[in-house]
Amino acid sequence: MTKFFFLAVFSFMVSAVFSQDIKEIRNFSLLGQTQKAKEAVDKYMAIAKNTQKGEGWYYKGYIYNQISKDSTKTVEDNAALKNQAFDALKKYRELEPKSPLLEEQHNSALYDLYVGFYSELGVKAYLAKNPATAFENFRKALEVHDYINANSLVGNNGFKFSALDTMLTLYTAIAAAEAKKTDSAAAYYQKIVNAGISDPQYLDAYQVLADRYKTTKNKAAFADIISKGRKLFPTNSEYWMALEIEEATDGMTAPGIFPRYEELMA
């Protein structure tokens, strides 16, 4: 009986300490005392058994994201904090699939990370003429977008992401191209092409890939791009024809060029 009594008291004390730690973390967060909140959550998560509970991961994600908004820090430092925040929130959802702390806030912590990587860091880096850093943050924003979309996480007022964030995908491709990451740029441009978008502001995606496939002599991919370009952007028919002629007559000598040209024009 005495043994049972002490076990019960010990269990109660552990539970009380756990609740107190979480309450302290939550209070610091609510008061906007982010540095104290970070110190408290770091201390809490340093205890191995606490990493098996979802609540600590949620608060780590929330707090690290709040700290990452500090405009006095570098883009790189804030990106590192946002990455840790994203990992923490994913871990929270893994441990607590119903994720009540996220749900009651309409998943705002995750949506806020998307905005942060996109506009707070990506756009800021791009305007500072740092396309490589802009690319990394745009890419991460897309990763957050895709995670939210794949898990059907609903935001405020029932907001849901579309399957493809076309504008962000375009920005990611542009930043990659300017950072000389041509393979990455092509991959993001290809996403736009695969979606069959006909808005004129996305024309570059088709033109860049057409030129790439012509240069690399990828005939099947080139033919596919030309076909889509003609269908979606008929007013640019002369451009598509010129590219097709260039590709078809590449390496030909004068006697063979004219018959091939006439064949294409027929």
Q: Give the pLDDT mean for 207-227.
A: 95
Task: Establish if 57 belongs to a structural domain.
Answer: yes
For residues 38 and 134, state if they share a domain.
Answer: yes
Confirm whether 230 is domain-assigned: yes
Q: Residue 89 is which amino acid?
A: L
Is 17:25 a contact under the CB 8 Å cutoff?
Answer: no
Residues 30 and 155 in one domain: yes
Overall domain count for the chain: 2
- Averaged pLDDT for residues 143-150: 99
Boundary residue ending a domain (127, 161, 195):
161
- Give residue 252's pLDDT band: very low, low, confident or very high (50, 70, 90): low
pTM for this prediction: 0.86
- Residue 253's pLDDT band, with cuts at 50, 70 and 90, is low
CA atoms 142, 38, 69, 159: torsion sign: positive
Is there a domain that residue 12 lies in? no
* Average pLDDT over the chain, rounded to an integer: 90
Q: How many CA atoms lie within 13 A of 63 on its CB side?
A: 27
Same domain, 76 and 206: no
pLDDT at 153: 98
- Mean per-residue pLDDT for 254-262? 52
Residue 13 belongs to a domain = no
- pLDDT for 27 equals 94
Residue 182 has pLDDT above 50, yes or no: yes
Decide if 11 is inside a domain: no
Domain around 154: 22-161
